[in-house]
């Protein structure tokens, strides 16, 4: 996608006749982007809770599809307060559509107007509240949200870039947001100042903005004051309104829209689709992780109780795998990668084998005594059983965690293999707290009258 944008940035405006008649590249990008959005919208694999959590984004996808259908292009003016964003859009529109004021923070919410003077139509200009305003966090966020959803950004400044402006500009271009840098209030500078300013801006934004996209404008030039001295020596002062000068900007925008309007819309739609599908994936993984965690705990308790009732020699703890196999099958369904009983069996065997290799049976004996040590009350049969149960609980917990990681990684142990993974899991969980938890859970169940 970056390529699409750089093509625009570096493309010469001259197009041959053959090129003009060929199906436009922008058109192709646009169709692809729209297909992506539709697929995303109708993907039946996305669980309802994930869809609900991302409802706003899904609505935005619908709006974006509609916008593409109608061939609309959105252009927003963003920038510091009072740099003349609203004035600039008014000058392009040729009417006082947005309110302007010398007071900072005049524009309070994003507003949109159809730029009818563009021949092909469908272009909308969006005014946004100023960024970097005291107590203006919400408005700044609004401007940011708009800026990251439109097809083209006019980043308006009225002098050399401040640090905040530079950061905002870098963030926008870093997200591949097509941006023109507009220096407004150009009437306040002399010709030589303007040359110096252009050089400074080009240096500052090197690598972020193509120098051709640094544009000077005067949206609402200050009236000129003229003092006439009469023969009598009497001075009269008159003011003359100066018309706006946004011609260079208008011309650049039209060139861009003619040459790459569709590509810009496609780029924006694809960036949005990409971002949303990342979010969807992440949410699905989080949901699966939560469900998996619950499943693991349930099996841990069941196995712990079974062992507590029928204490088996500690050396056999790892061998009693029936329940672990059932757990792995259950987990594999959560991750959408169902395993057969045989596959789940060998997975449990691999993990169990690694545990034994890493910890040995001596360690298991230590575990039991450790579980016993934290026991409250006397050494009853109940407590001893619960201690052994807690060890089974712990072993199942490790198996569950390892299987979960294997499944989350699309049935792979990763580069380091199962041994490393099991070692990592054992090191990362607090043995004593899992044992204590297991014991408490088991005791609670055993004491509960059935
Ligand atoms: N000298 C000069 N003043 C301008 C120009 N454009 C706008 N202004 C003045 O700058 C002030 C702010 O203009 P707005 O268009 O309201 O600025 P804005 O960026 O929309 O401001 P907020 O909505 O408050 O963020 C007004 O007093 C305008 O008259 C210009 O080209 N030259
Ligand atoms: Mg404004």
Question: Residue 310 pLDDT more than 80?
Answer: no
Could you give the C-alpha distances from 432 to 231, 373, 419, 437, in angstroms and in order?
A: 102, 10, 22, 8
Is 107 a pocket residue for ligand 1 (Cβ < 6 Å)?
yes
- The closest-lying atom of ligand 1 relative to the alpha carbon of residue 218 is 31
Count, residues in the chain = 450
Are the C-beta atoms of residues 156 and 182 closer than 8 Å to each other? Answer: yes
What confidence score (pLDDT) does residue 363 get? 60
Sign of the Cα pseudo-torsion (140, 143, 148, 153, in order): negative
Residues 357-363: what's their mean pLDDT? 68
> Would you place residue 10 in the very low, low, confident or very high pLDDT band (cuts 50, 70, 90)?
very low
For 13, what's the count of Cα atoms within 13 Å in the CB-facing half-sphere?
9
**More confident site: 201 or 149:** 201
d(CA 151, CA 133): 25
Lowest mean pLDDT among 166-180, 317-331, 366-380: 366-380
Query: What mean pLDDT is predicted for residues 274-298?
Result: 90
Q: Are 5 and 267 in contact (CB under 8 A)?
A: yes
CA dist 71 and 74 (Å) reads: 10
Does 3.90.1150.10 match the CATH number of domain 2-280?
A: no
- Among 91, 92, 155, 219, the mutation site with the greatest number of ligand 1 atoms within 8 A of its Cβ is 219
Can you tell me which atom of ligand 1 is nearest the CA of 102? 27
Q: Is 222 in the pocket of ligand 1 (CB under 6 A)?
A: yes
pLDDT one-digit tens code per residue, 53-83: 888 889 988 988 999 988 899 999 999 999 9
How many angstroms does the Cα of residue 198 sit away from the middle of ligand 1? Answer: 20
Across the range 215-243, mean pLDDT stands at 91
* Helix 25-42 and helix 247-309, axial crossing angle in degrees, nearest 10: 30
Nearest to 148 by CA among 11, 267, 325: 267
Is the pLDDT score of 296 beyond 90?
yes
The chain-wide mean pLDDT, for the chain, equals 84
Q: How far is the CA of 245 from the centre of ligand 2 (A)?
A: 18
Specify the ligand 1 atom closest to the Cα of 184. 31
Judged against a pLDDT cut of 90, whether residue 180 lies above it is answered with yes
pLDDT tens sequence across 362-385? 566 666 665 555 545 444 555 667
Q: DSSP labels for 199-238?
A: HHHHHHTTTTS-GGGEEE-BSSPPPEEEEEE-TTS-EEEE
Phi, psi of 76, rounded to the nearest 5 degrees: -120, 145
- Any atom of ligand 1 within 6 Å of the Cβ of 263: no
CA–CA dist 224, 217 (Å, integer): 17
- What is the C-alpha R_g of the chain? 33
* Domain boundary assignment for the chain: 2-280, 310-447
Most confident listed range (161-165, 246-250, 443-447) = 246-250
Residue 438 and residue 77: Cα distance in Å, rounded?
59
E strands within 241-386?
A: none
Share of the chain above pLDDT 70, in %: 84
The pLDDT score that the predictor gives to residue 339 is 96
Question: 359 vs 171, which has greater pLDDT?
Answer: 171
Ligand 2 centroid to residue 195 C-alpha, Å: 27
User: Does pLDDT of 6 surpass 70?
Assistant: no
pLDDT at 8: 39
Q: DSSP string spanning 408-423?
A: HTTS---TTHHHHHHH
- The pLDDT score that the predictor gives to residue 85 is 96
pLDDT at 19: 53
**Residue of 103, 174, 175 whose CA lies nearest to 133:** 103
Instruction: Tell me the angle at which helices 381-408 and 247-309 cross, rounded to the nearest 10 degrees.
Output: 150
Q: What percent of the chain has pLDDT above 90?
A: 39
Does residue 360 register a pLDDT over 70?
A: no
pLDDT at 139: 67
pLDDT given for residue 123 in this prediction: 95
Higher-confidence residue of 1 and 182: namely 182
Instruction: Name the range with the highest mean pLDDT among 119-133, 162-176, 237-251.
Output: 237-251
pLDDT confidence of residue 320: 64
Top mutation candidate among 78, 79, 80, 82 for ligand 1, by most atoms within 8 Å of CB: 82
Closest by alpha carbon to 404, among 336, 328, 337? Answer: 328
All residues at 6 or more sequence positions from 147 whose CB lies less than 8 Å from its CB, including other chains? 76, 78, 128, 153, 172, 177
Find the mean pLDDT for residues 344-369: 77
Ligand 1 in reach of 102 Cβ (< 6 A): yes
What is the C-alpha separation between 165 and 158, in angstroms, rounded? Answer: 11
Distance CA 298, CA 323 (A): 11
Ligand 1 pocket test, pick from 78, 87, 91 with the greatest ligand atom count within 8 Å of Cβ, gives: 87
User: Which residue in 152, 177, 174, 182 sits closest to 260, CA to CA?
Assistant: 152
pTM over 0.85: no
Q: What is the mean pLDDT of residues 22-34?
A: 80
pLDDT for 150:
92
Q: Is the beta carbon of 400 within 6 A of some atom in ligand 1?
A: no
Q: What CA–CA distance (Å, rounded) separates 155 from 98?
A: 17
Is the model's pLDDT at 191 over the cut of 90? Answer: yes
Closest to 253 (Cα-Cα) out of 167, 180, 355, 343: 180
Give the number of other CB atoms < 10 A from CB of residue 332. 21
Q: What spacing in Å lies between the alpha carbon of 88 and ligand 2's midpoint?
A: 9
Query: Is 110 close to ligand 1, i.e. is its CB under 6 Å away?
Result: no
Query: Would you say the CB of residue 85 lies under 6 angstroms from ligand 1?
Result: yes
Q: Is 86 in the pocket of ligand 1 (CB under 6 A)?
A: yes
Is the pLDDT at 14 greater than 50? The verdict is no
More confident residue, 108 or 134: 108
Tell me how far apart the alpha carbons of residues 211 and 50 are, in angstroms, rounded to a whole number.
Answer: 43
Ligand 1 and 218: CB distance under 6 A: yes
Q: Look at ligand 1, atom 4, and give the residue with the nearest C-alpha.
A: 220
């Amino acid at each position: 996608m970056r390529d699409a944008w750089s093509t625009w940035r570096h493309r010469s405006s001259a197009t041959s006749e053959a090129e003009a008649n060929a199906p436009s590249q922008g058109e192709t990008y646009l169709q692809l982007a729209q297909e992506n959005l539709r697929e995303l919208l109708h993907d039946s694999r996305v669980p309802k809770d994930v869809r609900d959590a991302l409802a706003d984004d899904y609505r935005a996808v619908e709006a974006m599809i509609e916008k593409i259908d109608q061939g609309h292009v959105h252009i927003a003016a963003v920038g510091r307060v009072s740099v003349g964003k609203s004035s600039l859009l008014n000058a392009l529109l040729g009417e006082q559509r947005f309110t302007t004021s010398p007071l900072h923070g005049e524009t309070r919410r994003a507003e949109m107007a159809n730029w009818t003077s563009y021949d092909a139509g469908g272009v909308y200009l969006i005014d946004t509240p100023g960024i970097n305003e005291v107590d203006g966090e919400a408005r700044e966020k609004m401007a940011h949200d708009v800026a990251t959803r439109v097809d083209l950004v006019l980043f308006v400044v009225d002098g050399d870039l401040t640090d905040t402006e530079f950061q905002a500009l870098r963030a926008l271009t870093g997200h591949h947001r097509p941006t023109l840098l507009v220096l407004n209030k150009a009437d306040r500078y002399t010709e030589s100042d303007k040359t110096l300013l252009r050089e400074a801006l080009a240096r500052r934004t090197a690598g972020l903005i193509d120098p051709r996209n640094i544009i000077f404008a005067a949206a609402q030039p200050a009236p000129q004051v003229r003092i006439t001295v009469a023969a009598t020596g009497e001075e009269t002062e008159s003011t003359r309104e100066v018309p706006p000068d946004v011609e260079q900007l208008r011309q650049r925008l039209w060139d861009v829209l003619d040459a790459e309007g569709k590509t810009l819309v496609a780029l924006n739609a694809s960036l949005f689709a990409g971002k949303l599908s990342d979010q969807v994936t992440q949410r699905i993984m989080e949901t699966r992780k939560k469900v998996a965690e619950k499943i693991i705990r349930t099996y841990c308790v069941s196995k712990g109780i079974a062992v507590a009732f029928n204490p088996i020699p500690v050396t056999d703890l790892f061998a009693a795998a029936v329940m672990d196999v059932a757990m792995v099958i259950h987990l594999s369904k959560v991750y959408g990668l169902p395993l057969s009983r045989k596959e789940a069996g060998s997975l449990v065997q691999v993990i169990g084998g690694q545990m034994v290799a890493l910890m040995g049976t001596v360690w298991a004996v230590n575990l039991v005594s450790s579980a016993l040590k934290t026991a409250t009350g006397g050494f009853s049969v109940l407590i001893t059983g619960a201690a052994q149960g807690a060890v089974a609980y712990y072993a199942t917990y490790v198996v569950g965690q390892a299987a979960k990681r294997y499944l989350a990684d699309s049935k792979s142990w990763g580069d380091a293999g199962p041994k490393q993974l099991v070692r990592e899991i054992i090191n990362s969980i607090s043995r004593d707290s899992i044992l204590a938890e297991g014991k408490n859970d088991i005791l609670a169940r055993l004491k509960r009258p059935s």
